[in-house]
Amino acid sequence: MEQKKDQGISASGNVTPRMMDKFFSLVSTIDDFDKHLDKISLFGNISVGSNITGQLTNFINKRLDKLPSVEKLLKVYDVATAKAQLTAACGDSEEDSINWKGATAAILCTRMFNYARHHGKGMSKDNIKQYLELILHPSFSVDQKFLMVKQTMSAGNNFAQILAGDPRMIKYLTA
């Protein structure tokens, strides 16, 4: 039997995939993370240690577990609802830069691009146009918009054909 460290992980100090699987299996049984942070901390401290547990609780405290689903933003919601979801999550970088959440916007940028890159073939022309509308939404900074446009156009999917004719997209492509 290995001795347990103060942080709750094995004496070797390594967190194994099995430990992570056990931890996330335990956490997945919890319905409301906000109300049960003590339970999450207990599960984490005895399985993967306080470092990983702290990262998860920080993620929850910043309400990143409540971010809108990218699939819903692109395929389920209409454009107005999707934009409202982005504004609720990130704020508005142009109108209220003091309260704008740049880190949250960066997370959603990455998620949106990754979704488009991996699921682009299953997206309709309307979904791709909605993707463009969301990229250009003021929830994202100018730099984030620029990066998303450049990455999307270089991803080698059918987005380039549909989006290349939009003058707003051309602005970012020629910058």
Closest CA to 82 of 152, 125, 137, 146: 137
- CB neighbour class for 50 (10 Å; exposed up to 12, middle 13-18, buried from 19): middle
pLDDT value, residue 3? 43
Q: Give the pair of three-digit tokens for residue 9.
A: 């992980």
Q: Give the pair of three-digit tokens for residue 130.
A: 């909605």
Q: Report yes or no on 5 lying in a domain.
A: no
Q: Report yes or no on 1 lying in a domain.
A: no
Helix (H, G, I), strand (E, B) or coil at 60: helix
Q: Are residues 131 and 105 in the same domain?
A: yes
Q: Are residues 91 and 167 in the same domain?
A: yes
Q: Give the pair of three-digit tokens for residue 118.
A: 């991996």
DSSP 10: B
Closest CA to 144 of 86, 69, 81: 86
Q: Are residues 85 and 51 in the same domain?
A: no
Q: Are residues 138 and 75 in the same domain?
A: yes
| pLDDT, tens digit, 9 for 90 and up, residues 13-25 | 677 788 888 888 8
Structural domain of 87: 67-173
Q: Report yes or no on 154 lying in a domain.
A: yes
Q: Are residues 131 and 79 in the same domain?
A: yes
Q: Report yes or no on 2 lying in a domain.
A: no
Q: Report yes or no on 9 lying in a domain.
A: no
How many domains does the structure of the chain reveal? 2
**Where does the pLDDT of residue 56 fall: very low under 50, low under 70, confident under 90, or very high at 90 and above?**
confident
Q: Are residues 81 and 46 in the same domain?
A: no
Q: Are residues 111 and 168 in the same domain?
A: yes
| pLDDT, tens digit, 9 for 90 and up, residues 86-95 | 999 999 888 8
Show Cβ contacts of residue 25 under 8 Å, excluding neighbours closer than 6 positions.
none
d(CA 3, CA 12): 9
Q: Are residues 29 and 107 in the same domain?
A: no
Give the CA dihedral 38, 44, 47, 51, nearest 10 degrees: -140
| pLDDT, tens digit, 9 for 90 and up, residues 126-169 | 888 898 889 889 999 988 988 888 887 776 667 777 777 777 77
Q: Are residues 93 and 143 in the same domain?
A: yes
Q: Are residues 160 and 94 in the same domain?
A: yes
Q: Are residues 23 and 100 in the same domain?
A: no
pLDDT value, residue 107? 92
d(CA 168, CA 131): 13
Q: Report yes or no on 8 lying in a domain.
A: no
Q: Are residues 77 and 156 in the same domain?
A: yes
pTM tops 0.85, yes or no: no
Could you count the other beta carbons within 10 Å of the beta carbon of residue 131?
Answer: 26
| Helix boundaries (H) for the chain | 17-27, 37-47, 50-61, 70-71, 79-90, 102-119, 125-135, 142-154, 159-163, 167-173
Q: Report yes or no on 59 lying in a domain.
A: yes
